[in-house]
Amino acid sequence: MSTVGVRHHQLFIDGAQIDAPDHYEIISPATEQLVCTVAKGTVAHADAAVAAARRAFEEGSWSRKPPHERSQVMRAIADRLGEDSEQLCELEIAANGATLRQAMAFLVGYAAPHFLYFAEQAASYPFESTVATAAYPTASSNRIHRDPIGVCAAIVPWNFPLLLGIWKIGPALAAGNSIVVKTDEKTPLSLLRLAEIAHECGLPKGVLNVVTGDGPEVGAHLASHPDVDKVAFTGSTAVGREIMRLASGTVKRISLELGGKAPAILLDDADLDIAVDGALFGCMLYSGQICESGTRLLVPDALHDEVVERLVARAATIRLGDPADFDTDMGPVVSARQRDRVLGYLDAARRDGARVALGGGAPDGAQFERGFWIEPTILTDVTNDMTVAREEIFGPVLCVLRYSSLEEAVAIANDTPYGLTAGIWSSDPERAIEVAERLRAGTVWINNWHQIDPALPFGGCKQSGLGRELGQGALDEYTEPRHVHVDLTTRLDRHIFDALLSEPPAGR
């Protein structure tokens, strides 16, 4: 494919744009046309980025800057993210196929307010606190200092590159760390632009570095790098296990946000108008390419046929088309590989006995001859032991499962290796909350989905990950507590040194 006249993007290391001998071609998922090229980072580039981050951290241009001054710089960055949202939407849509409405609402729309939240945390976080202690065995003053960890590495997926990058960059910077971000090779554009914006707003060079590169090479190198103090990763559970293994060599801190297979329990008292639209929103948003999507809809036997009929009728109205068209509801999946992966799961579902109530393949029509398209798909007659109910498909595929009792519904919901999110559809809030308390998931939504607030923690249990992003404790993941003890006892005979030294001091 010719690259003549196509814009080329470089890496961002130590405050400067750096090119590489090789490059990636960024392809539009909607048209398969060449969008641009991006420098292909290597292990050497990762090493240079880590070295720049370490030097910046040790020099203290950011790590020793007073928190309120860090907050001011970060507020300026947040303002610019809001001002440049139109350009950032274009970059996201071109690379990952999200629709304009979804990019405006979520992928880019969340970026500025979430970054602003961390800017505010930089000013309000308790970096120093006094802890009251008992006078026994001796009176003392005790302070807790929360220090920046050092050099952090963030490995970011392709589906929400800017937003999920900010979930790692924001708390890292607020705490005073330096950071190296490894983008997915398919969607690096918005994070490269963020790095430029940050330095235009006064972030010292070396504090934020962005490299591309293949995951097994560059990502793995960062995870095992002896000069990286923490790794934050969002991606598949399989890769998360490898990140844990690689990080263990230097016992570095890690936080992992991994896969999900979220259950949505529709109770027998649910408002079906809300539940049907909400279930489709929970599963089909961004072509189902969200780790926290509600992909298993659990429906009581008595309502099953009516709910499926309603789901099919509503899902049939979802408009596929040009992601840049404001009227488009759903765009393509991100790549040919992802399209083929989803189609493979649909073939397996048919073999296992599931019934395709809607969709089930690529859409017809001339506009879909190029690009990576999957129809909105509803599967029924799904049982929880089927592959499509066990594994993360990452496509617009909703699996409908029956249940005969609430106890059975809860058991099915929890019968998964994942525990990222779950949901309940009910007209009785108290009853729904009682069910929510029985679900093993990091977030449980009642009568909604995809509601992410930067002030509330997000993350999973079981094989959905370790640690939490967002929330009031987000900076805890990026700081090390240091306890400073000052003994206030002034007389030797009041100390407890005689636990070792039984003889009185000479001359006393």
pLDDT at position 491: 87
257 is catalytic: yes
pLDDT at position 3: 67
**pLDDT tens for residues 167-224?**
999 999 999 999 999 999 999 999 999 999 999 999 999 999 999 999 999 999 999 9
One-letter amino acid for residue 407 of the chain: E
Above 90 in pLDDT, residue 57?
yes
Average pLDDT over residues 282-307: 98
Q: Is the dihedral of CA 298, 301, 302, 303 positive or negative?
A: positive
**pLDDT tens for residues 61-103?**
999 999 999 999 999 999 999 999 999 999 999 999 999 999 9
How is the chain split into domains, by residue range? 9-131+139-258+464-483, 262-446
**pLDDT tens for residues 378-408?**
999 999 999 999 999 999 999 999 999 999 9
Per cent of the chain over pLDDT 70 is 99
Helices (H), ranges, 299-390: 304-315, 336-352, 387-390
One-letter amino acid for residue 194 of the chain: L
pLDDT at position 161: 97
| Triad 188, 192, 197: Cα angle to 5° | 150
**pLDDT tens for residues 448-464?**
999 999 999 999 999 99
pLDDT at position 348: 97
Average pLDDT over residues 222-245: 97
pLDDT at position 409: 98
pLDDT at position 176: 98
Above 70 in pLDDT, residue 1?
no
Band of residue 2 on the pLDDT scale cut at 50, 70, 90: low
Band of residue 504 on the pLDDT scale cut at 50, 70, 90: confident
Band of residue 14 on the pLDDT scale cut at 50, 70, 90: very high
Band of residue 326 on the pLDDT scale cut at 50, 70, 90: very high
Average pLDDT, the chain: 96
| CATH 3.40.50.1980, applies to 262-446 | no
Per cent of the chain over pLDDT 90 is 93
Fold classification of 9-131+139-258+464-483 (topology level): Aldehyde Dehydrogenase; Chain A, domain 1 (3.40.605)
**pLDDT tens for residues 108-142?**
999 999 999 999 999 999 999 999 888 888 889 99
Cα–Cα distance measured from residue 164 to residue 171, given in angstroms and rounded to the nearest whole number:
12
Above 80 in pLDDT, residue 508?
no
Above 80 in pLDDT, residue 4?
no
What contacts 248, CB < 8 A, 6 or more positions away? Answer: none
Residues 257, 375, 469, 477: which is the catalytic one?
Answer: 257
This prediction's pTM: 0.95
pLDDT at position 507: 65
**pLDDT tens for residues 343-370?**
999 999 999 999 999 999 999 999 999 9
Place of tokens 């009227």: 327
Q: How would you classify the pairing of strands 16-18 and 418-419?
A: unpaired
Q: b or e along 308-335 (b: 16 or more beta carbons within 10 Å of the residue's beta carbon)?
A: bebbbebbeebebbbbbeeebbbbbbbb
- Contact call for residues 281 and 314 (beta carbons, < 8 A): no
Cα–Cα distance measured from residue 278 to residue 224, given in angstroms and rounded to the nearest whole number:
42
